[in-house]
Structures are given as structure tokens and as C-alpha cells.
Structure 1
Amino acid sequence: MRMTKNREAVFEIIESSRVPLTAEEIHRKLDVNLSTVYRALKFLEERNLVGSFSVGGPRYFFKKKRHYHFLICEKCGKLFPFEECVDEFLEKLQKKYDFSEESHLFLIHGICKECKKEVEK
């Protein structure tokens, strides 16, 4: 199978995003059916161009060969990217387990400031 115009469009949206995106978020940026987005995502995942994860809610898609660090709110599901890297920790893990990292996804679960305000009311 080849990289069609729709697959390229889905990949470009994922590639340019600072945060992983859901299929619905990608769909809102394109003028195609949601099923087309899901088929493109399946194609891209099968070719190891994108990865995905779910934390009890929607599935998020991200570009492989990149690393990501996020705080994720357990209430609203919003992702908050942060720039601080865990390189030193990863180097220790790679040495200890003789493991070569290709990419990583680091999630810290908690409650965001806005959701805390809601609880405190």
C-alpha cells in the first residue's frame, strides 16, 4: 500500500503537533470522514511512523522517533507538555538493561489547576 494524500495529511498534522492528538482532533483539522482518519492512523501505526497510547480515555497518536513529556489530568484528560527531559535517568536505564532507546513517552498523572478549583468549590 502507498502513502495516499489523506494518509500524508494525517501524518503531517501529527508531525506538526506539540502534543499527541486523538483521531477526533485530527478529524476536525481535515475535510475527510472520521473513518478515513482511523484507516490512515492504522496504516501509519503499522508502518511504525506513529505510535499511540490510551490512559483510560481516548487513544492519542504521536510521531515516533521523538520523545514526549506530559502531565495528564485525571479529571479532564488534558495533556500539559513540559520541556524538562529525563535524559540522565534514561541513560542509567539504558546502561543497566543494555537497552537502546528509540523514543519515549513520559506521563505524570494528577489533577490540573482548573480541575482542582472545581473540587475546592
Structure 2
Amino acid sequence: MSDSQSVKAHVHHHHDGPKEFVAAVEHASEERGLRLTPLRKEVLELIAAAGKPVKAYDLLDHLRERHGNAAPPTVYRALDFLLEHGFIHKLESINAFVSCHHPAEAHQVPFLICDVCSSAQEVCDERVADLIEAQAKAFGFRPQAQTLEVHGICKDCRKA
């Protein structure tokens, strides 16, 4: 067996429930001196409860059900805060947001996105990010953001 075959990727299967996730974000916010306002927390709770990637306008619809007068900039400001501090990820290819269940870590991770059920699996393997960083450096390129999204069909949908 080669070295590359013997090293296994560390995959996070997000088993934490939405309440535990929000509590972890609250704790991380306190530790970093960040202000998790009630609206930011509510947007975070909606993303966590969705269980799959959710679009900004779906979040806005939920907020309007509760508050009536929520406007798009309100949602986008909350999303910007959550993204900036690594509490959520944006899946660029489907323009949707998903929670990050290890909010205390700053990281770039690839996602496996199912084109059938829209689930997204975060793959935490530092080798992927390190390889991209090394290749960028070899070309004299300084990356500012990194998004790797792989589309396909998940195991559950393949069985169906």
C-alpha cells in the first residue's frame, strides 16, 4: 500500500444538532469578542435547522413569516458576518449557505454537493487545501479565497 493510500482523509460527519451548533457559535463569539445579535443568531439557527444548503431568499421568507418587514439587506448583513467569522460557508455554485460545525477553526474545505437532493458534505482534509496553496505558490499566485465544490450524486440518492 502506498503512502497516499494509507493516509485517510479526516471527514467530519456533522452529527451535532442545530442547538448544539448554535451554542458552539455563541461560545466562539464570546471568546472572540464578537457580537452575535438576535438577528444574526436567528439566521444562523435557520441555516442550522435546514440540514442542507439554504438560499438567502429562503432565509428572508422565513424571517418575513416571523417579523413581517425583513428586507434583503438585513439578511445579507447577517450572512456577511457569519461568513466573515467562519460560522457558515457559501457554496458558490448553487448560491446557498451551509453551517460549519467546527466554528472555532478557520479553514478552507471542499464540499461534495449532491445534484439530486442538494445535500452538501464538508470534507475536512488539510492535504487538499495545502496542495492548492502549494500549487498557487509555485505559480507565484497569492490566493485570497478558495472554493472547491464537487458535484455528483450522494450515496443515498444512488441507492434510490
Q: TM-score range by the shorter chain?
A: 0.5 to 0.7
Q: Deviations over 1:43-92 (max 9, x none)?
A: 24567737734435x622668x6423211111111101222231332222
Contact 1:27 1:33 in 2 (8 A): no
What CA RMSD, in Å, does the superposition of the two structures yield over aligned residues? Answer: 4.1
Question: Mind listing any 5+ residue stretches in structure 2 that lack a counterpart?
Answer: 1-35, 101-105
Distance 1:110 1:73 in 2: 5
Matched, 1:114 2:156: yes
Residue 7 of structure 1, aligned match among 20, 30, 40: 40
Contact 1:45 1:51 in 2 (8 A): no
Residue 99 of structure 1, aligned match among 134, 142, 146: 142
Letter in 2 for 1:82: V
Which runs of structure 2 are paired with 1:1-121 in the superposition (5 Å)?
Answer: 5-7=38-40, 9-10=42-43, 21-22=53-54, 23=56, 24=58, 32-33=66-67, 36=70, 38-44=72-78, 49=84, 52-56=90-94, 59-60=96-97, 66-85=107-126, 86-95=128-137, 96-101=139-144, 103-118=145-160
Q: Which has the higher strand share?
A: 1
66 and 27 in structure 1: CA distance in 2 versus 1, 3 angstrom threshold: farther
Q: TM-score, normalised by structure 1?
A: 0.57
Q: TM-score, normalised by structure 2?
A: 0.46
What secondary structure is seen at the aligned counterpart in 2 of 1:80? strand
Q: CA deviation at 1:36?
A: 3.1
26 and 114 in structure 1: CA distance in 2 versus 1, 3 angstrom threshold: farther
Q: Which has the higher helix share?
A: 2
- Percent identical among aligned pairs is 19
Distance 1:68 1:35 in 2: 35
Number of aligned residue pairs: give it.
110
